[in-house]
Amino acid sequence: MKKIANLLLLLLLLAGSSLFAQDKPIKNVILMIPDGASLSVVSAARWYQRYNHPEISQLNMDPYLCGTILTYSSNAPIGDSAPTTSCYMTGYPSRAGFVATYPPADPGNDILPMDPDRAYQPLITFMEAARLVRGKSTGLVFTCEFPHATPADCAAHSYDRDNYSWIAPQMVHNGVDVVIGGGVKILTPPLKEYLEKEGCRVFLNDIENYRAYSGAKMWALFKDKDMSYDIDRDPAKEPSLAEMTQKAIQLLSKNKNGFVLMVEGSKVDWAAHANDAATLITELIAFDKACGVAFDFAKENEETVVVVVPDHGNSGFSIGSKKCAKYSQLTKEELFGSISRIKVSADNLVEKLKNTNAFRLKEAVMELTGISLTDNEFTELMLCSDYDRSFLSEGERMQGSKLIKVVSKILDDHTCFGFTTAGHTGEEVFLANYDPRSNGFIGHHTNVELNHYLRQTLDLDTRLESLTNEYFVKHYEVFANYAYTIVNRNNVPVLEVKSKKMKLEITPNTNIVKVNNQDHKLNSVIVYVDKNNTFYLPRFLSNWLNSGKIFP
């Protein structure tokens, strides 16, 4: 009897220890966002890869596909990148163009009830909270320019996604440790100087030094604005998304507290907007290779959660289209052979054709796309108003279309993929998840629930709300007992506040407060909203004024 009892105890202990081993706390979170990737793009990418590499039957994300996510903006079912990833980051859906900012209420249309008193309040993001509360390093990897909506959603706050003069400085001042992506021209000299003063290495179009660097803090930007599509990329000048992901993980792993990394396949979305099927599919494959890097790290590391989720659908992409006769009987060669011979994006093909003489045009198109131009197509190209090397004179081309329009139509006509629109679509998006603990995140969920899952991985639960209430308080509440005024300095609003002991000067979109003319750094950014003439800033600043001392 005693033997059996001992055996049972041993079994219980073993079971307990294995449960414990599985459920040890999560240290790192990697969020992978293929922007605007509808599920049909994943299907096409898998077929394309199987056609070209029969030995690779799966995408890297395939073993982890596990559910769907409902994604929307606060007052409409179809969202743009700004409010959709904002919701993943903050737990609140928002309006079109809003970056990690609470939306104004739209009663009757709001999908969840919104509090009108909170309109335009910046909302702490999951990434900011992970740094502030858990001391995590943070990283952003993307192929658009850095203040573009999705990376901005993680580390900036603005009701206007297009206002880079607000968003770019916030991203620079928000303590992100590793940033790799596009936007060299947008990093102004003062912003670069600030990063370098903070001990961050900055590499601009400098792939060799970027590759050699092994420190903990880095901004590496390539190309003036967005990086090239993967199909057009020169690997000697621009790293792949997979390489960038590998690099970010390598650098961020140096923090013993762990890290949060967001990787965006930014231009899946752009290729969908352009209805450019070959580029769309190859962008998704490049993104999937980055997923492979993330999953490999997570499986080895055992303390890392990976979530793969698009922010919204785009373009109503389909394998098969009514424009092709008997399209449902097409072979894999007919569907995926023709598209595999296209070796450039439509944008890049236009640039290349602009520099190609008319007598070489047919040959060049064949070389770059495998397409044999019809006489009609050739004539249409000759008529393009921006094809200066045409056989036709400028006058004869005056009424012609632009090359991009004709080139896109030719590429589309020689393949059999469908597009219902050149904009976003409102269907739910796919979800893939790796979670080393016993319970992963499976099934159908909403964008808000995805944020709650992310919070729970790092035990943050209600901390995002409490941080928002500490770090983004209206200036007239924080400084109710003090004399304050907003002055205009070179078209920038500056908040001046005085007590008997102290004078504060506060410039928005930075983390710097001038105290009696000396700069002091905060661990969060200060946001000014012109719509309501309000600064949003940390509550503790009133304690500084009150005591005459600077403390966190």
- Residue with smallest beta-carbon separation from Zn ion: 81
8 Å CB contact between 332 and 47: yes
Q: Taking the complex as a whole, how short is the minimal distance between the CB of residue 81 and Zn ion, in angstroms? A: 3
106: tokens are 């739209």
Residue 283 binds to Zn ion (criterion: CB under 5 A): no
Stretch that binds Zn ion, among 27-35, 387-395, 409-417, 496-504 (CB under 5 A): 27-35
For Zn ion, give the closer residue by CB, 238 or 269: 269
| Integer Cα distance of 69 and 79 in angstroms | 13
Angle between helix 277-301 and helix 241-252 axes, rounded to 10 deg: 30
Pull the structure tokens for residue 307.
Answer: 């979530």
3-state class of 383 per DSSP? coil
Least Cα distance to 151 among 122, 174, 117, 118 occurs for: 174
Find the shortest distance in angstroms from Cβ 312 to Zn ion: 5
Give the residue with the Cβ less far from Zn ion, 73 or 390.
Answer: 73
Q: Is 36 in the site for Zn ion (CB under 5 A)?
A: yes
- Please report how close the Cβ of residue 69 comes to Zn ion at its closest, in angstroms: 13
Minimum distance of Zn ion from residue 311's CB (angstroms) = 4
> At closest approach, how far in Å is the CB of 87 from Zn ion?
12
Which amino acid type is present at position 276?
A: D
Q: At what angle do helices 447-457 and 81-90 cross, to 10 degrees?
A: 40
- Shortest distance, CB of residue 310 to Zn ion, whole angstroms? 7
How many residues sit in the footprint of Zn ion (CB under 5 A)? 5
Stretch of 182-190, 240-248, 310-318, 518-526 lying at the interface with Zn ion (CB under 5 A): 310-318
Give the ranges where 302-374 is alpha helix by DSSP (H): 332, 338-340, 346-354, 361-369
**Choice between 425 and 509, CB closer to Zn ion:** 425
Nearer to Zn ion, 252 or 263 (CB): 263
Cα–Cα dist 388/353, whole Å: 10
Q: What are phi and psi of 406, to 5 degrees?
A: -70, -45
Which residue, 81 or 228, has its beta carbon nearer to Zn ion? 81
Helices (H), 136-198: 149-155, 164-172, 189-197
Q: Which is nearer to Zn ion, 81 or 253 (CB)?
A: 81
First-to-last C-alpha distance (Å) of the chain: 62
| Residue 266 touching Zn ion (CB under 5 A) | no
The token pair at 368 is 């770059």
Indicate the residue among 34 and 67 with the shorter CB distance to Zn ion. 34
Our CB check for Zn ion shows the closer of 96 and 204 to be 96
Q: What is the per-residue binding string for Zn ion in 137-156, x denoting contact by CB under 5 A?
A: --------------------
Cβ nearer to Zn ion, comparing 142 with 472: 142
Smallest distance, Zn ion to C-beta of residue 35, A: 4
Q: Smallest distance from the beta carbon of 162 to Zn ion, in angstroms?
A: 14
CB–CB of 155/128 below 8 Å?
yes
Nearer Cβ to Zn ion (311/435): 311
The distance of closest approach from Cβ of residue 143 to Zn ion in the complex, given in angstroms and rounded to an integer, is: 13
- What part of residues 62-81 is at the interface with Zn ion (CB under 5 A)? 81
Query: Least Å distance between CB 305 and Zn ion?
Result: 22
Q: Please provide residue 264's backbone torsions phi and psi, each rounded to the nearest 5 degrees.
A: -115, 125
Query: Does residue number 35 form part of the binding site for Zn ion (CB under 5 A)?
Result: yes
Q: How many Cα atoms within 13 Å fall on the side-chain side of residue 77?
A: 6
Report residue 345 as tokens.
């994006």
* Of the candidates 127, 117, 99, 158, the residue with the CA atom closest to the CA atom of residue 527: 158
Candidate ranges 191-199, 265-273, 404-412, 435-443; the one touching Zn ion (CB under 5 A): 265-273
Binding Zn ion by CB under 5 A: which of 145, 226, 288, 311? 311
User: Coil, helix or strand for 533?
Assistant: coil
Longest dimension (CA), the chain: 103
Q: What is the CA radius of gyration of the chain?
A: 26
Which segment (33-41, 223-231, 278-286, 515-523) binds Zn ion by CB under 5 A? 33-41
For residues 376 and 137, give the distance between their C-alpha atoms in angstroms, rounded to a whole number.
57
Structure tokens at 522: 């905060």
Closest distance of CB 90 from Zn ion, Å? 16
- Judged by CB, which is closer to Zn ion: 81, or 315? 81
By the criterion CB under 5 A, which residues form the site for Zn ion? 35-36, 81, 269, 311
